[in-house]
């Protein structure tokens, strides 16, 4: 007897090894689509209970692929007898019945099975996963809701995830928001997961009404106001975000810090009007708090950006901004936290009021102030270089750019200095040198610098490839310098002459684009549209076509207040220029103009 037991013990591992080899071979047949061969092996393997789970899915699928319905039916019923509590087989038998068109029988079978699980949370969780894997979301939902009634586990995360898969966005949001009433520390997690799971803007907008329901139901829970602030920021509705942030600020005694963040985000998104409202509120309400100094500085900066982006630029408002900056510096002195105001003032003097020497004096004073951060001083050196370009003193400019490039090597500021030196080479007609530096900058860490470098490199490369004399590009670069120097009328005249001289040259679409942007700066919006329309009509397949269409839409929308024409061009952006970087904003503005409830 002992000898027999010994032999069995010795033989069992080899049996298991042989069985594993059969499973591997059967799976290989299955993967290769040789289902008959796979079934032949699987049918022997499933006779051993311990191997059924390893081959079940493949075996059943192979039977169904070869339409061996009776064999599949017998196999599944046998597993139901052998494993009456195993949800894998219970669910798969229900799916099998549905596949055969026996929906009522499947419902009866699955409902009877679920009745046996309702008091067992662990079994509910396991069975629900099998229902989800079979795309039977309604059954999984019934199980989770039954488990919730047990009072041990609310299955909130499971239901939220299920609703996300099923496309029931409202229900998903409700489950996630329900978590916050008991644990407001989950706010950031829930914000992140909602952002990841929302499929599009319309889905994301469904958060708002659900949030308001929770705010009404739990008025003492400030976390829902905080989440509403986050929601409006995501939707770039800074006016509503500001309104909610005030409530959060008051109840949490934040002394304006959260509101300041909203104002800063509004600035970054070029919503200068709302940024001004936000910073004005802070300056008025928090005169004794630390946020006051920063808010006051940002208020003037927001006003500056609004003035600079409202065409034509109102010079009286520029002078008023300079006066505001002077007041800030006069009250606090030229120190680290007022240096940015002094820098802005200098740039206004140089680029708008034509007081270049005044600007140089201010910037040199900043650079020579011991308390100023070295990185900021280097930024100011770049500004000083720009002003020397304005004064047509390129040698002085390149000295300053090169100093910063050397000091800030491999940093963003160093890359910006290299870009400015490359542009200076371009203005001077030194195209090979310019392109050499620009091609290095295509790999810059800052996307804006990399994009600017790529665009200028493409301009040089594309035009030199078809014009070895460089005549057209040299003329264009010289006029481009005039634009930088603010000589707009002279540049327009030069562009017009150039367009006639080089009428068949590929640089013509660049001329149209450049002229259009000058007309916008001068507030001559109809003329800008004429130039942009030429790009769309004559160069619709070229790089500027979608930019031109979008700029026309914006001009009609923001400057000419022609709603119908704006909608026409926004719609063109979506239909004719699919994949454009402007598509998201064009869709949003189109819906807003149409009157949709879009934040």
Please name which of 493, 518, 509 lies closest in space to residue 547, comparing C-alpha atoms.
Answer: 509
How distant is the alpha carbon of residue 134 from its chain centre? Answer: 33
Structure tokens that stand for 373 in this block = 């951060």
Q: What is the pLDDT of residue 500?
A: 93
- Greatest Cα-to-Cα distance within the chain, rounded to the nearest angstrom: 111
φ/ψ of residue 70, rounded to 5: -65, -40
Distance CA 178, CA 543 (A): 48
Q: Measuring CA to CA, how many Å separate 282 from each of 245, 250, 290, 295, 516? A: 12, 13, 11, 6, 39
Query: Cis peptide before 404, with omega less than 30 degrees from 0?
Result: no
Burial of 280 (0-12, 13-18, 19+ CB in 10 A): middle
Residue 55 · residue 42 · CB < 8 Å? yes
Distance CA 283, CA 294 (A): 9
- Structural domain boundaries of the chain? 478-594
The class level of CATH for 478-594 reads mainly alpha
Distance CA 355, CA 322 (A): 12
Which residues, at least 6 apart from 334, have a Cβ–Cβ distance to it below 8 Å? Answer: 342, 365, 366, 369
**pLDDT 10s per residue in the chain (599 long)?**
444 444 344 444 434 444 667 899 999 999 999 999 999 999 999 999 899 999 999 999 999 999 999 999 999 999 999 999 999 999 999 999 999 999 999 999 999 999 999 899 999 999 999 999 999 999 999 999 999 999 889 999 999 999 999 999 999 999 999 999 999 999 999 999 999 998 788 889 899 999 999 999 999 999 999 999 999 999 999 999 999 999 999 999 999 999 999 999 999 999 999 999 999 999 999 999 999 999 999 999 999 999 999 999 999 999 999 999 999 999 889 998 899 999 999 999 999 999 999 999 999 999 999 999 999 999 999 999 999 999 999 999 999 999 999 999 999 999 999 999 999 999 999 999 999 999 999 887 898 999 999 999 999 998 887 766 799 999 999 999 999 999 999 999 999 999 999 998 889 999 999 999 999 999 999 999 999 999 999 999 888 999 999 999 999 999 999 999 999 999 999 999 998 999 989 998 999 999 886 55
Q: pTM of the predicted model, to two decimals?
A: 0.83
Q: How many CB atoms lie within 10 A of CB 519?
A: 22
Burial of 230 (0-12, 13-18, 19+ CB in 10 A): buried
DSSP code, position 152:
S
End-to-end CA distance of the chain: 83
Distance CA 532, CA 526 (A): 10
Structure tokens that stand for 207 in this block = 């958060």
* Buried/exposed 101-116: b ≥16 CB within 10 Å, e otherwise: eeeeebeebbeebbee
φ/ψ of residue 383, rounded to 5: -60, -40
The residue written with tokens 């898969």 in the block is 165
Residue 298 · residue 279 · CB < 8 Å? yes
Q: What is the pLDDT of residue 201?
A: 80
Structure tokens that stand for 77 in this block = 């019923």
Q: How many CB atoms lie within 10 A of CB 506?
A: 15
Distance CA 227, CA 162 (A): 22
Q: Measuring CA to CA, how many Å separate 477 from each of 459, 463, 494, 498, 503? A: 10, 12, 11, 12, 17
Burial of 75 (0-12, 13-18, 19+ CB in 10 A): buried
Which residues, at least 6 apart from 442, have a Cβ–Cβ distance to it below 8 Å? Answer: 450, 453, 454, 457
Q: Measuring CA to CA, how many Å separate 410 from each of 64, 205, 424, 441? A: 61, 42, 20, 10
Distance CA 16, CA 508 (A): 77
φ/ψ of residue 339, rounded to 5: -65, -35
DSSP code, position 86:
-
Please name which of 590, 589, 491, 593 lies closest in space to residue 236, comparing C-alpha atoms.
Answer: 589
Which residues, at least 6 apart from 592, have a Cβ–Cβ distance to it below 8 Å? Answer: 598
The residue written with tokens 């942009």 in the block is 532
DSSP code, position 557:
I
Residue 569 · residue 552 · CB < 8 Å? yes
Burial of 49 (0-12, 13-18, 19+ CB in 10 A): exposed
């Amino acid at each position: 007897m002992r000898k027999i037991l010994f032999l069995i013990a010795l033989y069992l591992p080899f049996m298991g090894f042989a069985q594993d080899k059969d499973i591997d071979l059967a799976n290989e047949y299955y993967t290769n689509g040789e289902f008959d061969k796979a079934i032949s092996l699987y049918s022997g393997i499933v006779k051993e209970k311990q191997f059924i789970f390893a081959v079940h899915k493949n075996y059943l699928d192979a039977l169904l692929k070869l339409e061996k319905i009776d064999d599949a039916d017998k196999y599944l019923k046998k597993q139901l007898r052998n494993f009456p509590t195993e949800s894998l087989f219970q669910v798969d038998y229900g799916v099998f019945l549905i596949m055969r068109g026996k929906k009522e029988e499947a419902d009866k079978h699955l409902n009877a099975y679920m009745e046996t699980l309702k008091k067992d949370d662990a079994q509910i969780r396991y069975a629900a996963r099998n229902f989800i894997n079979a795309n039977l979301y309604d059954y999984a939902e019934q199980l989770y809701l039954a488990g919730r009634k047990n009072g041990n586990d609310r299955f909130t995360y499971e239901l939220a995830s299920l609703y996300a898969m099923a496309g029931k966005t409202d229900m998903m949001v409700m489950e996630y928001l329900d978590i916050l009433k008991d644990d407001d520390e989950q706010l950031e997690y829930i914000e992140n997961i909602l952002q990841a799971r929302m499929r599009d803007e319309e889905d994301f907008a469904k958060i708002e009404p659900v949030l308001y329901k929770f705010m009404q139901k739990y008025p003492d829970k400030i976390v829902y106001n905080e989440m509403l602030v986050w929601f409006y920021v995501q939707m770039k509705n800074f006016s509503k975000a500001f309104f909610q942030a005030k409530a959060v600020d008051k109840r949490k005694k934040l002394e304006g810090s959260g509101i300041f963040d909203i104002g800063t985000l509004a600035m970054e998104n070029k919503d200068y009007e709302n940024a001004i409202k936000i910073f004005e509120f802070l300056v008025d309400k928090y005169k004794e708090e630390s946020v006051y100094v920063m808010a006051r500085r940002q208020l003037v900066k927001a006003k500056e950006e609004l003035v600079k982006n409202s065409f034509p630029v109102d010079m009286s408002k520029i002078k008023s901004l300079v006066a505001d900056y002077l007041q800030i510096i006069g009250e606090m002195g030229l120190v680290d936290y007022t240096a940015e105001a002094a820098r802005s003032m200098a740039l206004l003097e140089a680029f708008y009021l034509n007081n270049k020497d005044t600007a140089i004096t201010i910037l040199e004073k900043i650079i020579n102030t011991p308390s100023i951060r070295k990185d900021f001083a280097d930024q100011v050196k770049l500004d000083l270089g720009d002003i020397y370009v304005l004064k047509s003193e390129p040698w002085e400019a390149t000295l300053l750019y090169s100093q910063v490039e050397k000091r800030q090597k491999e940093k963003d500021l160093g890359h910006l200095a290299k870009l400015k030196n490359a542009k200076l080479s371009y203005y001077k007609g030194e195209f090979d040198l310019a392109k050499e530096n620009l091609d290095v900058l295509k790999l810059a860490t800052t996307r804006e610098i990399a994009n600017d470098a790529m665009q200028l490199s493409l301009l040089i490369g594309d035009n030199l490839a078809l014009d070895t004399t460089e005549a057209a590009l040299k003329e264009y670069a010289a006029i481009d310098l005039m634009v930088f120097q603010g000589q707009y009328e002279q540049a327009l005249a030069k562009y017009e002459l150039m367009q006639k001289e080089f009428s068949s040259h590929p640089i013509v679409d660049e001329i149209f684009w450049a002229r259009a942007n000058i007309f916008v700066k001068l507030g001559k919006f109809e003329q800008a549209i004429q130039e942009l329309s030429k790009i769309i009509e004559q160069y619709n397949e070229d790089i500027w076509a979608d930019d031109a269409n979008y700029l026309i839409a914006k001009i009609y929308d923001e400057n000419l207040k022609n709603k119908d024409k704006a909608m026409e061009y926004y719609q063109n952006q979506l239909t004719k220029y699919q994949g454009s970087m402007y598509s998201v904003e064009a869709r949003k503005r189109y819906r807003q103009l149409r009157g949709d409830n879009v934040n």
